Structure 1
Amino acid sequence: MMIDPEVIERIAVDQASLRAGVGLAKPAKWSALGHSLDETLLWGECAGSGARPYRVMVDARDMGSKCTCPSRKFPCKHVIGLLYLCAEQRAPFTPGTPPEWVGEWLARRRPKAAGTAAVTVRSAGDTPDLEAVRQPQGPPPDDDPKAEERRLAAAVKRTEETTQAARDALDTLEQWIGDQLRLGLSAFVDAMPVRCRQIAARLVDGKASALASRVDEMPSRILALPPAERMQAAVVELSQLVQLACAFRSQPDQPAIRRQICTAEPRDSVLTHPETLFVDATWEVVASNQRMQRGKLMMQTTWLLNLDKDGPRFAMLVDFSHGSGMSRGSLPLPGACFRGKVAFYPAPMPLRAILLEHDPLPLTDTLPDWRECPPLRTALNEILLAEPWQLDIPLMLPAGRIVRDESSKLWWHAAKGDIALPLLENVETVWLGSDLPSSVALWANHRITMLAAQSVWGRLSHG
């Protein structure tokens, strides 16, 4: 039985419950672990302070749960612990008939759980949505013709509550930004990790979890820059947050904006959205990287390059997992090509996508034919004008080379014209001075990170 760790994070009442639940996800604390044969029910007994263990049960169809502990939080830390225990497969769950106490609870809640469908779990590029998790799916019972009407009204109400909570969180964020400016940017840069962590926790409580992750990771992005550039980078990032807040207030239902504040849409919503772009093309896996987010959530980003003439140039796949690492599954390694179909999340400049199907292509000794790139300034300005809050922007660089200046800083220089871009990270020696007919890089904080390049030595990969 598989449970998506991101679903657990989204249904947690607050960060305290999430941390406590992670602490309880230890096999030694649990007994009588099991799940139903159809993998819709999950149960277990957790040792508490008393003589009797707490009985914990979860209905995976709508993430409904019950625990015999006296906690007033719903779900409680024991439910969170049970879900993590299952999601990370830290202990075996015996399949079988639910115990009597699970059956009694299920019978009491059956009218609410009837007709629900299983929650989508662990899909590539799919970040679960809390509203979809809490909302039972499927047709209403035949004996209650108004059930569907009530369900839709409840969904609308939840969406409105989430929007209002996010607006309140953005008010708090803007007040916090004003405080940082009044206290001085120099002091802010020095105390960034602590200050950003505090406001990120408040954003989570305000149902702005995507924005919370962005703010929580801001210190690592800025502190990776040279000291002389950190203050300017802080101004840019804070201004982007203000732009994003203004955009959300103006268009809270716009998918690309809401995704930056709250959370990404569930897979089914993307596939059925009228603005979703489907592209069937030949793709090259340019690069793949992992980074740890708040709550020990591992995020894996895979960049695909469209080798055909139709559709967006790049596609970004995002996957999540709890723990120290995650498997790439069946996706080819960087440098490999495949024929596949992707669905792009609705956006002014489609980038994030879901991989629907792929068929690996045979390996060859020749480099894939990368499409001719548009003028660099044109490509960058087009994206920033449409979505000025974007952090990492993939770019196709024209012919050029990487050189080191007198102060040992690395620069990419275009072969034609006067364009020169500083590098954020070092590259292997083979990159230096080599003629690079074309390259792929990420633009962030007025610097680039090289992902891959074609050269006389063959394909070069960074990282």
Structure 2
Amino acid sequence: MDMTRAAIEAMAPDQSALAAASALLKPAKWPLRARSERLIWGECQGSGANPYRVAADLEDRGSKCTCPSRKFPCKHALALMWMYVEDGAAFQAGDVPDWVNDWTRRRRKGVAPPVAAGEDKSLEAAHQALAESTPDPDAEARRKAAALKRADETHRSVYAATEDLDIWIADQLRTGLAGFLGALGERCRRIAARLVDAKAGALASRIDEMPSRLLALSAEERVDAAIAELGKLVLLARAWRAAPDDPELRREIVNAETREEVLANPKAPRAISLWEVLGERVVTRRDGLVSQATWLMSLGPSARRFAVLLDFFPASAGRRGGAFVAGERFHAEIAFYPARAPLRAVIASREGAVDALDAWPDPPTDPFAHYAEDLLATPWRSETPLLLPKGRICADASGRAWWRSSRGLCAPLREPPPSLALGALIDSAAGVWDGARLALIAARTNWGRLAFDG
């Protein structure tokens, strides 16, 4: 995949990161810039005694930097890729250093380890390896029995933990939501730790992220939002206890299936269509993982209008990659994780980007009706993507931004929009609605496509 200036701008988390990167394009700030066939790396002198070490993968646009920034990619990684695009000849060809190799090994799983020098490659060793790989029926039976035992222990542990969660929620309501909101972080961490110990990792992550979601709201909105979130947790826990083998409920409580399991599942819904990359949302979670969500919208006759590709990786490993650019279009077959209202998906097959002229589909008159339908099917769901009709983005007297349709529908925005978006005539837009705030992802305006930090 070619590295271009446009691709770098699309990867930037915001305009301030691009502006900061442009200030680092002076060669004097970079005592080292080097490359291999696929990788580039360098050292950028900051305010400290030791320079920051920066590396990037030219093929999938992943990057890593030793700076403390929580933005992905950071200004140093953007500047390194920018300089390579402007003058690749200034990067000296050289052997990949150990710190870059360590990073690539961590982010590429499943690669066979290098063969050590002097390792025995004799025919006898090959026969021994073949013998060891021959299946043993007794061993296979023991493994299956052990797996069933672990599954039963996990079920009993998670079941008890969800009952503890019900008691915890009742305690928060009994003692008052004012006290709950006053000690939100501590109380959520405590029950999340209990759920982690009980192997309900997905549910624990949701509760661990609750403080950041609630505290992002204004003080007068937090009580209602807390009641709604606690209610969704009760419904989710009770639904799982009633159907613990349901794949969607297990995904919400324990963990998600692997990509390979989804692709091999004959019950996984599939959709073949022309897709547009709406945008990306990258969030650093409290557990040290980075959540990278890529939102897609079908432009063809697909029963599934939206799809989201989710990736999780350690913040210490740097950005996993930039396989998509906002606004690009491609034909693909997508497999959805089985669910009542399928949304999360993986790409089964994909063709190259195309310069298609297909228009966005016609938005519904009342886009929030779709959210209500999803909520009836999955009342524990946190948010739903919507296709919005014609309207504008405006601000009230307090400076708070709103989306307003030409028919009078209004919704407050989760994040302040770019200044250029205020007052622009929006033909249609795509966003994510959580029942209280709207997070815009992309919009088609009277002067072109507009991207938001979705």
Answer yes or no: is 1:261 the counterpart of 2:253.
yes
Partner of 2:388: 397
Write the mapping of 1:31-430 to structure 2, written as runs, cut at 5 A.
87=106, 95-96=115-116, 115=133, 140-141=135-136, 144=137, 147-324=139-316, 326-327=318-319, 329=321, 331-363=323-355, 368-374=358-364, 375-416=366-407, 418-430=408-420
Residues 307 and 168 of structure 1: is their aligned pair in 2 closer, same or farther, counting only changes over 3 Å? same
1:458 pairs, out of 426, 429, 448, with 448
C-alpha distance in structure 2 between counterparts of 1:84 and 1:156, whole Å: 36
Partner of 1:449: 439
CA deviations 1:27-60 (Å, max 9, x no partner) are xxxxxxxxxxxxxxxxxxxxxxxxxxxxxxxxxx
For 2:222, the aligned partner's letter is R
C-alpha distance in structure 2 between counterparts of 1:319 and 1:363, whole Å: 27
Residues 438 and 85 of structure 1: is their aligned pair in 2 closer, same or farther, counting only changes over 3 Å? closer
C-alpha distance in structure 2 between counterparts of 1:317 and 1:425, whole Å: 22
- Gap regions ≥5 residues in structure 2: 1-101, 121-128
CA deviations 1:354-373 (Å, max 9, x no partner) are 12232232447x6x511123
CA deviations 1:49-103 (Å, max 9, x no partner) are xxxxxxxxxxxxxxxxxxxxxxxxxxxxxxxxxx9996369xxx76327999xxx
User: Does structure 1 retain, via aligned residues, the 8 Å contact 2:429–2:444?
Assistant: yes
Residues 322 and 377 of structure 1: is their aligned pair in 2 closer, same or farther, counting only changes over 3 Å? closer
User: Does structure 2 retain, via aligned residues, the 8 Å contact 1:298–1:324?
Assistant: no
For the aligned residue pairs, the C-alpha RMSD in angstroms reads: 2.7
Partner of 1:55: none
Report the 3-state secondary structure (helix = DSSP H, G, I; strand = E; otherwise coil) of the residue aligned with 1:95: coil
C-alpha distance in structure 2 between counterparts of 1:84 and 1:158, whole Å: 33
For 1:190, the aligned partner's letter is G
For 1:95, the aligned partner's letter is V
Report the 3-state secondary structure (helix = DSSP H, G, I; strand = E; otherwise coil) of the residue aligned with 2:281: strand
Partner of 1:18: none
C-alpha distance in structure 2 between counterparts of 1:413 and 1:282, whole Å: 29
User: Does structure 2 retain, via aligned residues, the 8 Å contact 1:88–1:322?
Assistant: no
User: Does structure 2 retain, via aligned residues, the 8 Å contact 1:281–1:339?
Assistant: yes
User: Does structure 2 retain, via aligned residues, the 8 Å contact 1:211–1:260?
Assistant: yes
Residues 348 and 426 of structure 1: is their aligned pair in 2 closer, same or farther, counting only changes over 3 Å? same
Residues 353 and 114 of structure 1: is their aligned pair in 2 closer, same or farther, counting only changes over 3 Å? farther
C-alpha distance in structure 1 between counterparts of 2:249 and 2:393, whole Å: 36
For 1:96, the aligned partner's letter is A
Answer yes or no: is 1:432 the counterpart of 2:422.
yes
Q: How many residues align?
A: 339
CA deviations 1:342-392 (Å, max 9, x no partner) are 11000011100112232232447x6x5111233313211111111111112
Residues 335 and 154 of structure 1: is their aligned pair in 2 closer, same or farther, counting only changes over 3 Å? same
C-alpha distance in structure 2 between counterparts of 1:293 and 1:379, whole Å: 28
- TM-fit CA distance, 1:324: 4.7
- TM-fit CA distance, 1:462: 0.6
CA deviations 1:317-343 (Å, max 9, x no partner) are 111211256445362211111111211
User: Does structure 2 retain, via aligned residues, the 8 Å contact 1:340–1:356?
Assistant: yes
Report the 3-state secondary structure (helix = DSSP H, G, I; strand = E; otherwise coil) of the residue aligned with 1:235: helix
Residues 313 and 328 of structure 1: is their aligned pair in 2 closer, same or farther, counting only changes over 3 Å? farther
C-alpha distance in structure 2 between counterparts of 1:86 and 1:165, whole Å: 34
Identity rate of aligned residues, in percent? Answer: 41
- TM-fit CA distance, 1:209: 0.3
Normalised to the residue count of structure 1, the TM-score between the two structures is 0.68
C-alpha distance in structure 2 between counterparts of 1:237 and 1:84, whole Å: 38
C-alpha distance in structure 2 between counterparts of 1:98 and 1:372, whole Å: 65
C-alpha distance in structure 1 between counterparts of 2:197 and 2:103, whole Å: 21
C-alpha distance in structure 2 between counterparts of 1:85 and 1:362, whole Å: 30
User: Does structure 2 retain, via aligned residues, the 8 Å contact 1:309–1:371?
Assistant: no
User: Does structure 1 retain, via aligned residues, the 8 Å contact 2:106–2:317?
Assistant: no
For 2:231, the aligned partner's letter is S
Residues 182 and 161 of structure 1: is their aligned pair in 2 closer, same or farther, counting only changes over 3 Å? same
CA deviations 1:370-426 (Å, max 9, x no partner) are 11233313211111111111112111111111111223222211112x321111111
